[in-house]
Structure 1
């Protein structure tokens, strides 16, 4: 291009952009962009805070809540279900229908990943007794297996980081099932060659710097299972029975194969078809089965350390005396360590679902296994309320009902419901954008009507 021509065209463009009408247009456009970004931030914050979601029942109305979730269970359950609501540590209501099998308080259900909560509870018993140190290198106490050598310092892997999924393990397990006819591997074999739900090759190894962030790891809890055996000198299942389940009163909790036991929930797929009852090699991560009665007792053992003296009357006296963990130890488990989505979501072995009015967290654990096993238990430490949902035959129903309970209790969406919260914000966000567009257009039209025409000569 000829330099003179270029200078002439460029000069005319610069004069146009520098003109008052163009400057005003750019200013209006900038204001609109800022308004859109601001409204997007507000809509996103509102989604997390539950502004766009309505609780399934009026806050505080436990009867209405139970009626609503029972109706949902009736509509969506394809197999067996146990649903229990606790108020101030006492059973308020329970529902065991519709179920294909006869189900009651003592029916054993597979807990899937909720098993990790109980493994963490046992680890914290040893910490409380001074037999383990949360921040000591794992290698100080683990003898039967060691993390494979790699690019990251394994000496930075601690019990605290394993409990909170911040140890740098990137396995993402998800342990695969074993048919009743298959032999289970030994614990060291399972650590070396874990079977993943995806059937892909997975290694329990460091894939990021320990302490650098949260990444869920089933492998970390298989390591903790080995740690418990090394420190106690006892088989994992035996230690759990003697030191956790029996003292608390969880008399039907077991790591034994469900297919050989009485009064158990059979497994169903999402269509309601009968499925195999599987075995699990990773007991500490996914292999526990328990009844609703067991989980009621465990919830009460946690609640009794939190609630006020007048509420404790609702909790059985023998459970107040026998809970193995002190209040301060339980509170340590609920201190935030893992963050995701900018939120505190994990403590030492427990999920932190949503903040409560006191600044604490609704805490607990969910679990999910193939083909359609789902479990959830959540506790509000402010009031001693809790929900327990055990399902075979729907892969998400327990988590969904427990999510409704969390919203009903706190008014805040739990972090497992972020996708649902985002969907709830879509319509308000679009309406806000439409309002911004209308206002912007109105301003443009109004400005044109009140401003004299300005001509620009090119």
Structure 2
């Protein structure tokens, strides 16, 4: 029994050490290799252009910033020419911009972050649940901690005539991605867990309309885009921009159809690299320039509101990609949708460096490039890169645990056999 406990203890210690080393190694990028090590914007972009040859990307618009200034741009197209004024759908990057619109209402005293949202609603209300719906607040909707379990995911509609009303989409989204709960409903206790919710931002869209008395698209244009002179940004489809929109592609490289969204705040923003560059400049701490949010309310968005695995991951409408000094984070958002498109926005508030990348025809090119940009500038694995490596990490841990278990059992067996042989030899002698 004593020997059994000794080897069991050894196995447990080795397993714990192995698991911690693999986890910390993955989290800190000890053995991660980025696609390039180039930090200078022009050479970084040259590396991106090389990377484009390794896979299909239909269109790309890329801007890289250093010390708060645009250093270089790069474009790629498979057919129709793409430039800084080409309009891209940006999928969930919409949430980052939409959150600025919500926070403008908070700044103006028209919304309170911490009161029950039901006091702002007349057109639709959260269905009754087994939890306290009064704990659903604007802060929790913005930070994906409101207990909503929809998991949306909007696939959009191929025709404008198929668009749902906002209220019917919240009740049952007919364009939900496969595997999503089509209902916006409280399914877990609000405030205890970060759970990404497209439905939460669709609910914020309704709140903005109720409080402002305007459609979400009109409100965002008048309160955000016009102030920043983002002249080619909109949420509700505008036929005037038809010829300016980047082509959509399927994963096999064939052309895909345009899609339209009821869930505008969550998924539907159309914008350009030029317009997002103006948004990037507005993030700098300069109260002299006209911009929608004061520095105080901007920084409020970048404070940690939610964690996963003990690590801050989300503020108010923004991912917290990598922790920096003084409780700061690289902030921004990514977007991903079908037909394949992928977008990424990263901003370092300490150095004022950043990257904006818009693509069609790929589900992950923009995120991978932006995550590697974070890694080569900070030496840290950002939140989405860690998530991409999670499967490999778990596999490595499991394989290691099996090897340790087999090794300890083998050692125990061999030592027992050697001891038995010694006993036999002693008796024979």
Question: Aligned with 1:290: secondary structure?
Answer: strand
Distance 2:250 2:226 in 1: 32
Aligned pair partner of 1:214 in 194, 209, 223: 194
Instruction: Tell me if 1:412 matches 2:380.
Output: yes
TM-score (structure 1 length as normaliser): 0.84
Instruction: Tell me if 1:286 matches 2:267.
Output: yes
Instruction: Tell me if 1:373 matches 2:354.
Output: no
Matches within 5 A, 1:10-409: 17=1, 23-24=2-3, 26-58=5-37, 60-180=39-159, 182-195=161-174, 196-198=176-178, 202-257=182-237, 261=241, 262-302=243-283, 304-305=284-285, 321-409=289-377
> Compared with structure 1, are the counterparts of its residues 146 and 172 closer, same or farther at alpha carbon in structure 2 (3 Å cutoff)?
same
Question: Aligned with 1:405: secondary structure?
Answer: helix
Q: CA deviation at 1:322?
A: 1.4
Contact map agreement 2:153 2:180 (CA 8 A) in 1 = no
Q: CA deviation at 1:213?
A: 0.8
Distance 1:417 1:189 in 2: 35
Deviations 1:60-86 (CA, angstroms, capped at 9, x unpaired): 444443222222123323311111111
Q: CA deviation at 1:230?
A: 1.2
> Is the radius of gyration larger for structure 1 or structure 2?
1
Contact map agreement 2:152 2:181 (CA 8 A) in 1 = no
Q: CA deviation at 1:448?
A: 9.5
The unaligned stretches of length 5 or more in structure 1 are 1-16, 18-22, 306-311, 313-318
> Compared with structure 1, are the counterparts of its residues 77 and 301 closer, same or farther at alpha carbon in structure 2 (3 Å cutoff)?
farther
Distance 2:180 2:421 in 1: 71
Contact map agreement 1:178 1:280 (CA 8 A) in 2 = yes
Distance 1:176 1:432 in 2: 40
Deviations 1:328-362 (CA, angstroms, capped at 9, x unpaired): 11111111112223321111100111212444111
Contact map agreement 2:35 2:372 (CA 8 A) in 1 = yes
Contact map agreement 1:259 1:277 (CA 8 A) in 2 = no
Distance 1:436 1:239 in 2: 61
Deviations 1:409-444 (CA, angstroms, capped at 9, x unpaired): 221212222354346656799689979988998999
Q: CA deviation at 1:257?
A: 2.5
The range that moved more, 339-348 or 194-203, is: 194-203
The unaligned stretches of length 5 or more in structure 2 are none
Question: Aligned with 1:38: secondary structure?
Answer: helix
Question: Aligned with 1:122: secondary structure?
Answer: helix
Question: Aligned with 2:76: secondary structure?
Answer: coil
TM-score (structure 2 length as normaliser): 0.89
Distance 1:268 1:389 in 2: 17
Contact map agreement 1:39 1:429 (CA 8 A) in 2 = no
> Compared with structure 1, are the counterparts of its residues 229 and 428 closer, same or farther at alpha carbon in structure 2 (3 Å cutoff)?
closer
Distance 1:168 1:322 in 2: 36
The range that moved more, 408-417 or 228-237, is: 408-417
Distance 2:181 2:292 in 1: 38
Question: Aligned with 1:365: secondary structure?
Answer: strand
Q: CA deviation at 1:203?
A: 1.1
> Compared with structure 1, are the counterparts of its residues 75 and 98 closer, same or farther at alpha carbon in structure 2 (3 Å cutoff)?
farther
Distance 1:207 1:38 in 2: 36
